């Protein structure tokens, strides 16, 4: 059974390719390598013993998308990761984000709509909730006005998929709203490798720990939380990848109650920035050089998931602890720098 993974050389995409191949799926990867590297294929092969088919392709080029689906008419499912994801950059370059994140989604859905049956999984985000009114956050929480064009592309993406499913009987789709992915594969063959300055907390911590960054800035310690720093739900990337496989199986088995569903993916537990730093210091044995600075505009105070729906309907649950995820991230950082 052939599954297309767009952005399959990226952080979450590559781990999902591994889990798909471990379950016996034939995987085709599309990636333009704008924030990834073809070297990731070597890591996937080292773990699974099998090389996925790879096409370097820019999904913004509609003609190439049409041609791809003509050549791969037997694709039975698409997991769509490919997107620009830097919040700050999206504020500075909104049109780039709308073109890359929305235009490409439309082109893919256009091709899937031509099929008698098609299955689609969308890489969404907890950013759609903003600062939620209640914690933990359920899938029924209101979607707030986005704080950035990036967040807006996730909201709009979900709306586009829902609208398409309403009028396309053969299309089934699931949006997975991630909380904060971190870590690396236990083999240390693949992991998070951001180009340039990391946008996420954990790779900035590990890069500071290894000496690549001078110090970590903690944005504010005066929030209404137990230690004054922001709280997020950090989930091991392998747990996250496994959720995509069970979501795909639900679609392929035609088990959906409706042809469009939404699930939160997190651990259900919030950890503060200082708790994440403490976790790093514990698993690495190193003190981290950090300083408290002013709050950062747009940061929500606290966000962590209610995962009851995914637990009960998908039969999925995050298994790794914060320390286990941090240990894998640190092992990966040491490997790539050495």
Give the H or E element holding residue 173.
Answer: strand 171-178
H helix intervals, 7-55 = 11-22, 40-48
pLDDT tens digit sequence for 16-31? 999 999 999 999 999 9
Q: Which of 97, 107, 150, 304 is catalytic?
A: 150
DSSP SS3 for 190: coil
Q: Report whether 161 contacts 308 (CB < 8 A).
A: no
Could you read off the pLDDT of 260-313 as tens digits, one per residue?
999 999 999 999 999 999 999 999 999 999 999 999 887 889 999 999 999 999
> Could you confirm whether 150 is annotated as catalytic?
yes
Assess whether pLDDT exceeds 90 at residue 51. Answer: yes
């Amino acid at each position: 059974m052939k599954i297309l993974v767009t952005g399959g050389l990226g952080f979450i995409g590559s781990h999902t390719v591994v889990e798909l191949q471990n379950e016996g799926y034939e995987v085709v990867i599309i990636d333009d390598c704008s924030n990834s590297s073809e070297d990731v294929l070597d890591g996937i092969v080292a773990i699974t013993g099998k090389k996925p088919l790879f096409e370097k392709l820019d999904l913004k080029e509609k003609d190439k998308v049409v041609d791809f689906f003509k050549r791969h008419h037997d694709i039975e499912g698409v997991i769509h990761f490919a997107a620009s994801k830097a919040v700050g950059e999206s504020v500075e370059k909104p049109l780039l984000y709308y073109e890359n994140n929305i235009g490409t989604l439309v082109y893919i859905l256009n091709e899937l709509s031509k099929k008698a049956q098609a299955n689609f999984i969308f890489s969404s985000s907890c950013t759609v909730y903003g600062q939620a009114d209640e914690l933990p956050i359920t899938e029924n929480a209101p979607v707030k006005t986005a704080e950035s064009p990036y967040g807006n592309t996730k909201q709009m993406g979900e709306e586009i998929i829902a609208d398409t499913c309403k009028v396309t009987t053969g299309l089934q789709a699931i949006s997975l709203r991630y909380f904060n992915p971190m870590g690396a594969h236990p083999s240390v063959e693949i992991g998070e490798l951001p180009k340039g300055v990391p946008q996420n907390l954990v790779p900035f911590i590990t890069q500071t720990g290894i000496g690549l960054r001078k110090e970590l800035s903690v944005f504010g310690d005066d929030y209404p939380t137990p230690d004054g720093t922001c709280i997020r739900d950090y989930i091991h990337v392998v747990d996250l990848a496994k959720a995509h496989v069970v979501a795909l199986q639900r679609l392929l088995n035609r088990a959906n109650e409706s042809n469009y569903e939404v699930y939160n993916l997190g651990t259900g537990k919030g950890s503060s920035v200082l708790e994440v730093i403490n976790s790093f210091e514990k698993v690495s044995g190193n003190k981290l050089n950090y300083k408290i600075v002013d709050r950062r505009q747009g940061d929500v105070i606290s966000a962590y998931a209610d995962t009851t729906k995914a637990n009960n309907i998908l039969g999925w649950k995050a298994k790794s602890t914060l320390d286990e995820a941090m240990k894998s991230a640190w092992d990966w950082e040491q490997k790539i720098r050495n």
